[in-house]
Chain A
Amino acid sequence: MKMTMIEPIETEKSLRRPEVGAAGSAPVSGGKPVMDVRELRAGYGSGDVLHGISLAVPERSVTAIIGPSGCGKSTFIRCLNRMHEVAPGAECRGQVLLGGRDIFAMDAVELRREVGMVFQKPNPFPTMSIYKNVAAGLTLNGVRDKAVVRGRVEESLRGAALWDEVKDRLDGPATGLSGGQQQRLCIARALAVEPKILLLDEPCSALDPSATARVEELIHALRKRLSIVIVTHNMQQAARVSQRTAFFLMGELVEYDDTRKIFTNPSDKRTEDYVTGRFG
């Protein structure tokens, strides 16, 4: 028990583990949970990084995960589409329900089509054109109908607010785009598979401020269509883009509440210290 110093108090525990289905503890105003995480523990063999996280991801809204480096926020969202277990020695326990189904009982490949992911650094496929990058999720999974692929590529690029910039050079190399464009291309690529949930792992950390602003606008627009979980180092970004915010500290979920409340009137002293910049 290395956490003795910050053992959560009783009232907080009820907050950390919302009773699913109980009307009174619906996680967010309006939205019902699309994903329900229960007692998720994860690590890399040498010990747990996450010590039992429970939270519900509301539908069609943005959930931000904030916390200092090494608090397990990336590990957390990588568990949600089982990318965590790709790393050698990685393991996770607990339950994650997607529409009532336990994701650890699902086929990981199927799961990842429903829970897409965009990474910290833009990672377009270097050998493919812009068009082929966006189409990759479809063509690699055997969609042969060219009209369908073409339609979905355009729709996804429009969805990612990139269409107007690339429509005349769809056959050009994806690596020829700027960093911000590449990241939006990666978002378009993820959208093309039509996921229910999009996980964003610090999507703006490699981008300049104007490119960041464009991605944030995009997140706002996408919220109407799907649920987004975003990990961010940048508290202003969390405050700008999300409706719900979870504060992680050393592998524990300290507080999970409406974003406004987290940033104006947090229940926990540690959250307050973090969002006011006293540590982290």
Chain B
Amino acid sequence: MKRRKVVNAAMLTLTGVCALLSLSALFAILGYIAWKGAAAINWGFLTQLPKPVGETGGGIAHSIVGSAKVVGLAALLGIPVGVLAAVYLAEYGNNKLGFLVRYAADVLNGIPSIVMGIFAYALVVVPFKGFSALAGSVALAVILIPMVTRSSEEFIRMVPGSIREAALALGVPQWKVILFVVLPTASRGIMTGAILAVSRIAGETAPLIFTAFGNRFWDEGWTHPIAALPLTIYNYAISPYRDWHEQAWAAAFLLLMFVLAVNVTARTLLRPRGGAAQG
């Protein structure tokens, strides 16, 4: 009897300590980046281009805009494909093809992102003979698609069959049932999944090394090398200049804030409102 209580207390303490440990890692990272990065953030940092090597000051405005462009295009390319694939999997995919696509998406989700970078290099950079924003977007979109597909599929499947039946029984064709009844019911979940996936690709560095490449100036259009926050962080962090190190910390802090804001937004979206069915 006593032994059981001792074991219980010991295990409870152990699990509690592990929970604190995992949480403290997160807070340590957040706190350290905030401490190192927040100080270097100012108006000039957000709005100026980098100064030439040796001069102090300057900013990473080009990386912010570049990240927005590359990630934005990746979202435009990837989200529609992912959601439509999810519609197929959830509504028609109980067959061999569905199994295959689902399996492939899961495998794709586990592939290191640098491989996606090499893929986009071969697919876009080589034929176009140059690094480009487009290539970066393609690399990120390839990462985005399986994530969006799998999360959207889950949310579409969560729409109760009774809702589909209700619409079908009104004499509504199946495509309209899916488009106007099922997808709106699942829309908050689909959006949440898509937003979280976008926030993840916004922090990807490896796939951009061979594709977007990086740039110290304003980019031109979609067919030239372009800067992006993760690339800038990477380049500045491995540079020998103290000034750049500080800017890398600041950029990291900026990226962190962005990911945090996106996560909070997504969670808020997903929270059920006023008794409405979870979607």
Where the two chains meet, the residues of A that have a C-beta atom closer than 8 Å to any C-beta of B are 81, 83, 86, 88, 109-114, 116-117, 119, 121, 123-127, 136-137, 140-141, 173, 175-176, 186, 189-190, 193
Contact = CB atoms under 8 A, between A and B. Distances in A.
B167 interface: yes
Interface string B165-176: 111111111001
B91 to A, nearest CB: 12
Interface in B102-138: none
A20 B181 CA distance: 40
B175 to A, nearest CB: 11
Given A127-B184, A173-B274, A175-B275, A81 B169 contact: yes
A125 B181 contact: yes
A193 B167 CA distance: 12
A112 B166 CA distance: 11
Contact of A176 (B94, B185, B274): B274
Interface in B161-204: 162-163, 165-173, 176-177, 180-181, 184-185, 187
A176 B165 contact: no
A86 B277 contact: no
Contacts of A114: 171
Contacts of B180: 140
Pick from B170, B172, B181, B185 the residue with the most CB of A within 10 Å.
Answer: B170
Given A123-B162, A126-B277, A127-B184, A88 B171 contact: no
Nearest 8 Cβ contacts at the A-B interface = A113-B171, A126-B277, A137-B170, A112-B171, A117-B169, A123-B162, A123-B166, A127-B184
Given A173-B276, A175-B275, A193 B171 contact: yes
Contacts of A173: 274-276
Contact of B167 (A88, A125, A175): A125
B146 interface: no
A189 B165 contact: no
B225 interface: no
A186 B167 contact: no
Contacts of B172: 109, 136-137, 140-141
B162 A119 contact: yes
Contact of A189 (B94, B170, B185): B170
Contact of B171 (A119, A124, A125, A137): A137
A52 B173 CA distance: 29
Given A123-B160, A125-B163, A140-B176, A112 B275 contact: no
B168 A86 contact: yes
Contacts of A137: 170-172
